[in-house]
Amino acid sequence: MATQAHGRVLIIAGSDSGGGAGIQADIKAVTALGGYAMTAITALTAQNTEGVHDVLPVPAAFLRRQIGVVVDDIGVDAIKTGMLHDADTIDCVVRLMQEAGAGVPLVVDPVMVAQSGASLLDPGAVGAMVERLLPHATLLTPNLPEAEALLGRAVPGEAGMEAAARELQAMTGGAVLLKGGHLQGDALLDVLVGPDGRTRRFHHARIHTRHTHGTGCTLASAIATGIAQGFPLDHAVARARDYLLEAIRTAPGLGAGDGPVNHCHTVRSS
């Protein structure tokens, strides 16, 4: 019962050996916000702050095994997906949502390309994501390039963000948080469109830093934690954004490239 109160989040994503993104970032974010993180790893990556150097996919049968034993024993209050790599992996998640995960909130971070530019999703799997996975999503959290890939068209900057978010929301039936971190300028915008069509805009000033590796993973997992803990969606998103912005502001400055954020800023030393 105590674990349920904390919020049990099953993360289905790839591993980042550098610790800044992927499963490692997800676990840190969930834990820092008081949730309980469980994992099913879709792929191993050899990466650091300078890029992804290699990827080793996990066989679909073993991914299903990871998911099954966790759900059967511990249970789950929310599911968060990150790097899904290929259509077989996407099908594993769809099967989960149709069976043991039916009725469990699903946060989909549609990871397609690493910050370094490396491809993390087979091009042929985009259709599987759109057609089979997105209809199960409680919340979809694309950045602008991911939104363009999912929509098959350009999003013309801030002026086109709400229309794009609404189009994506119609594809999922759930909510969409379209992130504006790729916009130019000092003032950034995120647009949340709820399942009822209600729109909320989140404005924030850009924090000028190269230490933003794993921000998408971190934000989606932070939101999933709030949902697992029973927060309304708006509250879960607002808390997660505040958490991420402080994590960026207090980034530890590690690595020669795009460094990680400070996931543990909520942890107070005694």
Contacts of 242 (CB under 8 A, 6+ apart): none
pLDDT at 199 over 60: yes
pLDDT tens-digit readout, 61-109 = 999 999 999 999 999 999 999 999 889 999 999 999 999 889 999 999 9
Fold of 2-144+210-249: UDP-N-acetylmuramoyl-L-alanine:D-glutamate ligase (3.40.1190)
pLDDT tens-digit readout, 223-268 = 999 999 999 999 999 999 999 999 999 999 999 999 999 999 998 7
Label residue 41 exposed, middle or buried (CB < 10 Å: 0-12, 13-18, 19+): middle
What's the rounded Cα separation, in Å, for the pair 146 and 152?
10
What's the rounded Cα separation, in Å, for the pair 94 and 101?
9
Give pLDDT, residue 6: 85
Catalytic choice (35, 42, 81, 179): 179
Give pLDDT, residue 4: 43
Catalytic choice (7, 14, 35, 216): 216
Give pLDDT, residue 114: 65
Catalytic choice (212, 218, 225, 226): 212
Give pLDDT, residue 117: 61
What's the rounded Cα separation, in Å, for the pair 138 and 78?
10
What's the rounded Cα separation, in Å, for the pair 188 and 194?
20
**Is 49 among the catalytic positions?**
no
Catalytic choice (39, 215, 218, 225): 215
**Is 264 among the catalytic positions?**
no
Catalytic choice (20, 82, 174, 217): 217
**Is 92 among the catalytic positions?**
no
Average of pLDDT values for 212-226? 97
Catalytic choice (214, 218, 225, 259): 214
For the whole model, what pTM was predicted? Answer: 0.95
**Is 179 among the catalytic positions?**
yes
Question: CA of 135: how far to CAs of 11, 96, 105, 109, 175, in Å?
Answer: 18, 13, 12, 14, 11
pLDDT at 270 over 60: no
pLDDT tens-digit readout, 149-192 = 899 999 988 889 999 999 999 999 999 999 998 888 898 899 99
CB 178 within 8 A of CB 165: yes
**Is 250 among the catalytic positions?**
no
